[in-house]
A and B are shown apart, each in its own frame.
Chain A
Amino acid sequence: MRIRLFAAVAALCLSFGAEARTVRWSASGDPNTMDPHSQNVGTVTMVLQQVYDALIQRTRTLGLGPGLATRWEQVEPNRWRFHLREGVRFHEGQAFTSDDVVFSITRAKQPTSNFGIYVDTIESAVAVDPLTVDIITRVPDPILPNKIASVFIMSRGWSEANGAARPQNTRQREELHTTRNTNGTGAFRLSLREPDVRTVLTRNADWWGWREEGTGNVTEIVFRPIASDATRIAALLSGEVDFVMDPPLQDLQRLRAAPGVGVLEGPEVRTIFLAMDVARPELLYSDVRGRNPLADLRVRRALYQAIDIQAIQRVTMRGQSLPTGTLFPEQVNGYVREEDVRLPFDAARARALLAEAGYPNGFEITLDCPNNRYINDEQICQAIASMWTRVGIRTRLNAMPLGPFFAKIQREDTSVYLFGWGVPTLDALYSFQSLLASRAGGQQGDGIWNYGGYSNPAMDALINRMRTETGDARQDAIRQALHIFREDVPLIPLHHQMIPWALRTSITIPHMANNQPYFRWAVVN
């Protein structure tokens, strides 16, 4: 009897030892929905990509690997065929079929979806048989797989049964079943969701991917948002949290020194830059009347050369940035090292350029800046405001939270603003198309984030070539576009962000340049 009891206790201990592998994870923001097609925001994706799979999944090196599709091919210029994985089931038991893929792609195309950019070229999705899907595009789309890797697959039956056949419309303040519930095929399932408080994910033992090489042992993920930087770091240091995705830069030194805590460093595929209103005849927020100084290349160069990027890198970013002179970092397909050259920091030259352009006494301008979106965004803006003021461009800083900031720039109610751009497709076109293509007359998705109104026919032509051409011809178009970017200064590039992650040394997880933790590869000791 006693022996049996002992054995039972021992077994219990063992099973605990073997199974309870919890990662307590924190970041400043909480996902504002659990709907996989509603908000294309990192804070939402970081949770949902644990729960939902896409047809194609990112590999550890951000390459493309099989996901719910085991292989795919471009059968015609306008038609891609995906062969689906067999025997996959959703967390609530529904079998995964091609019908779900068709449904999910259609859902992502709905107007209430925020994922349009990933499905913009798609005409339709057709189920060929239960395990084969064809995606038909309006134009040949060489980078469709890159985009489709960001579209999560839902169950048609579950979504329709729960009245969530279209994505939640966050603009109209509605709540759908999908706002708080999930039903994916992914490595983890959502077991508790308390918005703003905590989100608990538990291991989906049936996930198809566990059989593969290099998967981890995490059984439970507890995510708690902690908005205050100081509190978040205190929680990590005191052992209440294991993994902080966005540690404040000023605390890195201390975190590195703390016992049991380490910092994983690495670049992010995100470039921080300043965008300017170059289109209006007169700026909205400036004292210059009758003309737009920012339309003048000399003024743009003056603004550029007034910025001491090294100081920002060293002091404001504490070394956690890669100053750049180009539009995207080297991980992105199309990167050209020769074009990644900054105009040098030269305050005297900046003043001279201003005088040359007819502003010997400088002018006044308002810099719009988010204060909780990018790493040290407001501090960067403060530093730039002071640098610009020193060469005569008296800068008023208008820093605000992400929500109002995005609303403001989307109204084009701005003259200069700080912005950051990540490239989830890891292809140059995504950046050029969104940021620099003319807004008027272009294709869907052109210039959707080009709120400065930059318009250059040469650039538009090159972007069109990127869309359809392949191989060296395409690379040549990218090279030329990057050269125009460098010469014409449509945006003032600052740096690529580094994204240090802070975590207990008992945890290993691959650092990803898309700033997404993939807990399927995490190991807890």
Chain B
Amino acid sequence: MRGFFDSDLWWSFTRSRITMASAVVAFICIAGSALAPLLAPHDPFDLASLQLMDAFKPPVWTAEGDATYPLGTDDQGRDVLSAIMYGARVSLMVGFSATIFATLLGVMVGLLAGYLGGTTDAVLMRVADIQLTFPSILVALLVDGIVRAALPREVHDQIALFVVIFAIGISEWPKFARTVRGSTLVERNKEYVLAARVIGLGKLPIMLRHVLPNVLGPVLVIGTLNLALAILAEATLSFLGVGVPPTQPSLGTLIRIGNDFLFSGEWWITIFPGISLIVMVLSVNLLGDWLRDALNPKLR
């Protein structure tokens, strides 16, 4: 750990106030949403606690605000702040899961392609190329559409969250695969790999031990930027009404619902989730940008 604080990474981190600020914001977002059940002032999923007569309360600082609901309430009397915290939880959960899924898949395919070479490599990379041609949002929509058509509604609703994670994850893996494959190819031809093979060590353990650390940086950068993309993709799908199930509203769902009230003066129902989403994605993007610059000495 000391090594980390000594490192260039930490140095460049402390140098950039924006990066530090975005790290703090990202931390607040993650902590706030992870601990939503503990921190949120209300439980938006507890139907019994909702009071319809409390609906459409504006934020606390306006004339009709109510201290019980700092950011106001929505059309059902749900506390907007709590809804955002729970919504961010879903958004982040989907974002992280999809990114981890894409990373694992991509790294695996990349290693395999680079390591096995030949036909396997050609086929895997061709698939990645083809998929890269298609924008991820389209792939995600298609996956969702196919699952929606293939499964009965009730089943689909139950697994909708996983469908979204899968759809977004599957649409992002080729980026990882390409990077990892590139590094694998470079490493494969290095002398120590050849030497290790001569003394009878398996190639795969060597690859794992040497390639993985080498690609960790790029993978981390792609992963971080991808997290932002995944959160946006989820929000977009949910906005289009084909994302997470309505019983687990994400920020995108909240924006879609709030959108109905945007023109009628109840702006807080959509503006606050919107701002939360932007701030969250922006902070992740800033972190990713910084990470890329910090890990890429050429850009310094």
Contact A230 B260 (CB under 8 A): yes
- Which one, A58-66, A308-316, A423-431, A445-453, is touching chain B? A308-316
Number of A-B contacts (CB under 8 A): 61
Shortest C-beta distance, B223 to chain A (Å), equals 35
- A253 and B264 CA atoms in complex are apart in Å by 8
Determine the chain B residues whose CB is within 8 A of the CB of A408 once the complex forms.
Answer: 153
Nearest CB on A from B58, distance (A): 14
* Contact pattern, B 247-281, Cβ under 8 Å of A = 1, otherwise 0: 10000000000011111111000000000000000
Do the beta carbons of B264 and A248 come within 8 Å of each other? yes
Chain B residues with Cβ below 8 Å from A228 are 259
CB distance from A83 to the nearest CB of B (A): 51
| A-chain residues with CB within 8 Å of residue B261 when the two chains form the complex | 250
Chain A residues in 8 Å Cβ range of B48 = 386, 389-390
Q: Which applies to chain A's interface (DSSP): helix, strand, loop or mixed? A: helix
Size band of the interface chain B makes with A = 20 to 34
Whether B264 contacts A383 by the Cβ 8 Å rule is no
The answer to whether A315 and B53 have CB atoms under 8 Å apart is: yes
The listed residue (B47, B75, B247) touching A379 by CB distance below 8 A is B75
Judged by a CB distance under 8 angstroms, whether A229 is at the interface is yes
Q: How far is the CA of A478 from the CA of B197 in the complex (A)?
A: 94
- B277 CB to closest chain A CB (Å) equals 18
A386/B259 in contact, CB under 8 A? no
Q: For A400, what are the chain B residues with a Cβ–Cβ distance below 8 Å?
A: 153
- A: contact size bracket: 20 to 34
Is A473 located at the chain interface by the 8 A CB criterion? no
Q: Is B246 among interface residues, defined by CB-CB distance under 8 A?
A: yes
Inter-chain contact A312/B52, CB cutoff 8 Å: yes
Inter-chain pairs besides A253-B264, A312-B52, A389-B48, 4 sampled, C-beta below 8 Å: A250-B266, A254-B264, A398-B157, A399-B246
Chain A residues with CB under 8 Å of chain B are: 228-230, 233-234, 237, 248, 250-251, 253-254, 308, 311-312, 314-316, 379, 382-383, 385-387, 389-390, 394-395, 397-400, 404, 408
- Which B residues have a C-beta under 8 Å from some C-beta of A? 47-48, 50, 52-53, 55-56, 75-77, 153, 157, 246-247, 259-266
Can you give 22 A-B contacts (C-beta < 8 A)? A229-B260, A230-B260, A230-B262, A230-B263, A234-B263, A250-B260, A250-B264, A254-B263, A312-B52, A315-B55, A316-B52, A316-B55, A316-B75, A379-B75, A379-B76, A386-B47, A386-B50, A389-B47, A390-B48, A394-B47, A395-B47, A408-B153
Ordered nearest first, which 8 A-B pairs have the shortest CB separation?
A389-B47, A250-B264, A386-B47, A386-B50, A311-B52, A389-B48, A390-B48, A251-B264
